């Protein structure tokens, strides 16, 4: 036996011996297929390195070899993952962008909130916009072809729209989009991923590309939060200590419309119990740092929570006491934003924008609707 990326790989004779012994030597009525499917939950997630790493982290906590098993499935993007959860047989859970979830409900799937429930709000993922060095700001992309890959079809499109920059969107797969960017056929490529995460083709050679700053404005505050890409995240793509401003979108773990009291429903309920109970294990240093952003008690306004998840929270979560001095905390938060803007060389936010962000921070901190 050898291990590859944490997966157990058995070789020919050993496999035959193990399977033969399990089948012929067992007096139990349960078949191998029944045993393999016991407690199985299928999760569709993103295909970037961070998403795959987090899915592997989750499987390592959920799987016990006998009664629980998590099978991650690599999806094709934000909207596609949502469609898979809603329509595909066997997909029980999906990790989707909050803006994609709300966009689908408002446009193509008007009754989505009646057929999809959420388990928990997870981490935030950052919008990355790659372009040649001569592209200094987003406004330089006006009128040009820009690849919107995966979840960027929603997030980047919204950012350009809210900043009143009209581009010519192109929708290719990641590898094709990056090849076009390097050849000069498109002016930029946008993707959404948990930092640090790079397309495979860029991990060895950045090819003179860099990240273009995405300025944050008041219109974005209802759906996105300000974020930064730093040289610690991407030493080959971000120069200096200031970092590159961008926006981030929340990720949500959603559940398919499962029938209560069925085996699949119970499997997901067991998954939730283990996930919520063992979240502190996922937030240890040995796992992806994005787990430390997760607050499973945070509510999503306008969406129903998966009933077993709601029941677990009511049994286990005690509301945190508010800070003693709200105004002092608000002032500290405002100074932090000012210092961060000064260090980055970006425009200082208005008092109203600071108040909006502080209110969002408090709602996130105490698990309130946001």
| Confidence (pLDDT) at 221 | 84
CA nearest 155: which of 100, 215, 82? 100
pLDDT tens-digit map of 40-61: 889 998 878 888 899 999 999 9
Cis peptide before 196 (omega within 30 of 0): yes
| Confidence (pLDDT) at 27 | 38
- How far is Cα 336 from Cα 316, in angstroms, rounded to an integer? 33
pLDDT over threshold 70, residue 24: no
CA–CA distance from 250 to each of 74, 123, 134, 182, 223 (Å)?
19, 6, 31, 30, 8
> Domain segments of the chain: what residues?
1-32, 33-124+250-316, 125-247, 322-370
Annotate 15-84 with DSSP letters as a single string: HHHHHHHHHHS--SS--HHHHHHTTEEEEEE--SHHHHHHHHHHHHHH--SSS-EEEEEE-S-HHHHHHH
Backbone angles phi, psi at 90, to 5 degrees: 100, -25
Percent of the chain with pLDDT over 70: 81
| Confidence (pLDDT) at 22 | 44
Statement: 33-124+250-316 belongs to CATH 3.40.190.10: yes
Where residue 65 falls among pLDDT bands split at 50, 70, 90? confident
Ranking 78-82, 145-149, 154-158 by mean pLDDT, the lowest is: 78-82
Where residue 234 falls among pLDDT bands split at 50, 70, 90? confident
Query: Comparing 33-124+250-316 with 125-247, is the CATH topology the same?
Result: yes
Record the pTM: 0.76
pLDDT tens-digit map of 295-332: 899 888 889 999 999 999 999 875 444 444 666 667 66
Tell which CATH classification among 3.40.190.10, 3.30.70.20, 3.90.1300.10, 3.20.20.140 matches the domain 125-247.
3.40.190.10
């Amino acid at each position: 036996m050898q291990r590859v990326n944490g997966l157990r790989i058995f070789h020919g004779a050993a496999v035959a011996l193990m399977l033969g012994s399990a089948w012929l030597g067992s007096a139990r009525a349960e078949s191998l297929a029944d045993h393999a499917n016991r407690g199985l939950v299928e999760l569709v997630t993103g295909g970037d390195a961070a998403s795959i790493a987090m899915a592997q982290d989750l499987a390592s906590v959920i799987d016990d070899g006998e009664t629980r098993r998590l099978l991650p499935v690599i999806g094709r993007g934000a909207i596609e993952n949502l469609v898979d959860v809603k329509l595909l047989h066997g997909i029980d859970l999906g990790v989707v962008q909050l803006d994609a979830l709300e966009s689908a409900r408002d446009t193509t799937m008007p009754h989505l909130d009646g057929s999809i429930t959420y388990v928990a709000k997870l981490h935030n993922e950052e919008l990355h916009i790659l372009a040649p060095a001569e592209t200094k700001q987003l406004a330089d992309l006006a009128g040009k072809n820009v690849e919107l890959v995966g979840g960027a079809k929603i997030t980047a499109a919204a950012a350009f729209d809210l900043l009143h920059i009209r581009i010519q969107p192109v929708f290719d797969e990641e590898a094709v989009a990056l090849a076009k960017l390097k050849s000069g056929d498109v002016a930029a490529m946008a993707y959404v991923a948990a930092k640090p995460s790079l397309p495979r083709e860029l991990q060895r050679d950045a090819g003179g590309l860099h990240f273009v700053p995405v300025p944050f404005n008041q219109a974005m505050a209802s759906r996105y939060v300000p974020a930064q890409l730093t040289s610690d995240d991407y030493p080959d793509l971000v120069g200096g200590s200031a970092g590159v401003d961008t926006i981030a979108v929340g990720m949500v773990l959603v559940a398919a419309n499962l029938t209560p009291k069925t085996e699949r429903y119970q499997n997901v309920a067991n998954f939730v119990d283990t996930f919520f109970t063992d979240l502190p294990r996922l937030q240890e240093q040995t796992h992806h740092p994005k787990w430390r952003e997760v607050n499973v008690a945070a509510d999503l306004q306008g969406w129903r929570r998966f009933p077993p998840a709601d029941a677990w929270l009511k049994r286990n979560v005690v509301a945190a006491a508010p800070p003693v001095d709200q105004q002092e905390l608000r002032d500290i938060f405002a100074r932090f934003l000012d210092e961060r803007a000064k260090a980055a060389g970006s425009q200082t936010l208005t008092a109203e924008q600071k108040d909006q962000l502080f209110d969002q921070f408090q709602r996130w901190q105490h698990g309130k609707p946001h």
